[in-house]
A and B are shown apart, each in its own frame.
Chain A
Amino acid sequence: MAEKHIELPLTEEIIKELHSGDRVLLSGTVYTARDEAHLYLCRMMDAKEPLPFDLNGAVIYYSGPCPAPPGAVIGPAGPTTSGRMDAYAPRLLDAGLKGMIGKGKRNKAVKESIVKNRAVYFGAVGGAGALLSSCIKEAEVIAFPELGAEAVYRLRVEDFPCAVVNDSYGGDLYEEGVRNNCVNTD
């Protein structure tokens, strides 16, 4: 299938054209955040403190990279299981977040929030961290350095390969994939 080139940040026009199963290559800025960083971001929102990055149109990448070896921008940086961030994602989507990159199923509340807020959930191939890190051209820790691998990085990515898993129309690549490939055992 042809890949769509997408320049970030995400806009309503871009999201309108994305459908579950599409292969996309993302270029622009994404922010890493996983378990602890999400907890910290939500605490900052509770305290009405400014967040370390602007959520409007932003894409969060659920990833905790390896340390960068000498001469490299970053270490291997593949996706982590997104479901652990389900408790926080609807709140961030309501506040302007437009895209998430990870791997694995989202719960009903997140899928509904994706449709309601016209957002998108991308899947990256889990366990392909060495390949994916070659698409990361710049990396800088911008918040919570004390969290180590869980710190928030601002990444500049080029042609970062993903598939659209959950689109703004309620499509779900995982469900469609199983439906089209399962063999009835009756």
Chain B
Amino acid sequence: MPWREIHVDTIINAVKDLIIDACCILPEDSKCALEKAFQTETSPAARDALQDILTNAGIAASKRIPICQDTGLAVFFLEIGQDVHIVGGALQDAMDKAVALGYTEGYLRKSTQDHALGERVNRGDNTPAICHCRIVPGDALKITFCPKGGGSENMSAVGMLKPAAGRDGIIEFVVNTVREAGPNPCPPVIVGVGVGGTMEKAALMAKEALIRTTGEKSPDPEAAALEEELLEKINRLGIGAAGYGGKVTALAVHVQTHPVHLASLPVAVNIQCHAARHKSVVL
């Protein structure tokens, strides 16, 4: 057979466990970044907040309870090998079933509401899964789960800058977005930045930038230099952990770029709280 079959039941079981693990266990990269921030920080109030944040992660992991009560909307990135054939049902239905099971069995909070335009009603199972799918070479299926809380998502922004704004304009837009957000998105934050493409491409890059290992530099030297400059400027804002004032407002800035229309300069900023939860499984 030239293709590999993956049954939806395999996906459901794996994704259900992925959801519960990701919500309860802070990944090592996020934890290391917070420990480093605690060593760097000198403001007593911010140090106390960082200590609480680290203690919290320990309690969540040992009791296997969520790190934060906002277990988010269920966002996934799927890399689907082009030689994979999913059998037994529809992929979206399988992902939705995994979300309903994971959020229920894991005692996670269901935050998804119907009727965004009117009287909001909780759906009760946190479906649907938000799935960003990409077809890649190979016969594997990689699924990354990154639950996204409302507090940090609300502070995110997209700007359609003029090309004349250039690099300085990008820096100004990103730093202003973090300044305006202040204490609201649960700093210290991770800042995902998408530059280029179209409006939705920039937003998606900003989101995808957040699942990169925290603090890992972009392989593109230009983007890496921008990351460094942005991080320095953001950490001069003085917002600090919990917004109580301090040196560490951001743990990392991750930039992704894409070729861009000659008339455009889209910039998207997706802010991630310090509870940077993400976990992958390869089937």
Q: Using CB atoms and an 8 Å cutoff, list the residues of chain A in contact with chain B.
A: 1, 21, 23, 36, 63-69, 72, 75-78, 80-81, 83, 103-105, 123, 125-134, 147-150, 161, 163, 173-174, 176-183, 185
Contacts and interface: CB of A to CB of B under 8 A. Distances in A.
B147 interface: no
B53 interface: yes
A83 B150 CA distance: 13
Contact of A105 (B55, B71, B183): B183
A78 B111 CA distance: 14
Contact of B69 (A63, A123, A147): A63
Among all A-B residue pairs, the 5 with the closest Cβ atoms? A177-B245, A182-B238, A181-B238, A126-B186, A104-B184
A150 B122 CA distance: 9
B56 A23 contact: no
Given A67-B109, A177-B246, A181-B245, A105 B182 contact: yes
Given A127-B275, A130-B60, A177-B43, A81 B184 contact: yes
14 contacts: A64-B111, A78-B69, A80-B70, A80-B151, A83-B184, A104-B183, A127-B53, A127-B275, A149-B122, A174-B245, A177-B43, A177-B240, A185-B233, A185-B236
A134 B59 contact: yes
Contacts, number: 174
Contacts of A65: 69, 109
B247 to A, nearest CB: 7
Contacts of B122: 147-150
A126 B189 CA distance: 12
Given A76-B68, A125-B242, A177-B240, 13 more contacts: A69-B107, A76-B65, A80-B150, A81-B150, A81-B154, A103-B186, A103-B242, A127-B186, A130-B57, A130-B67, A173-B245, A174-B182, A178-B245
Interface in B243-273: 243-247, 273
Contacts of A67: 107-109
Q: What is the size category of the interface that chain B forms with chain A?
A: 35 or more
A75 B151 contact: no
B243 A104 contact: yes
B240 A181 contact: yes
A71 to B, nearest CB: 10
- If over half of B's interface residues share one DSSP class (helix, strand or loop), that class is named, otherwise mixed; here it is loop
Contact of A178 (B108, B150, B233, B238): B238
Interface centre among A68, A80, A125, A131 (most CB of B within 10 A): A125
Contacts of A180: 43, 238, 245
A3 to B, nearest CB: 10
Contact of A75 (B46, B56, B66): B66
A77 B247 contact: no
Contacts of B107: 66-69, 75
Nearest to A35: B120
A167 to B, nearest CB: 14
A123 B56 contact: no
B124 interface: yes
Interface centre among A68, A129, A176 (most CB of B within 10 A): A129
Contacts of A23: 48
A63 B68 CA distance: 11
Contacts of A130: 56-57, 59-60, 63, 65-68
A81 B69 contact: no
A183 B43 CA distance: 13
Contacts of B239: 177-178, 181
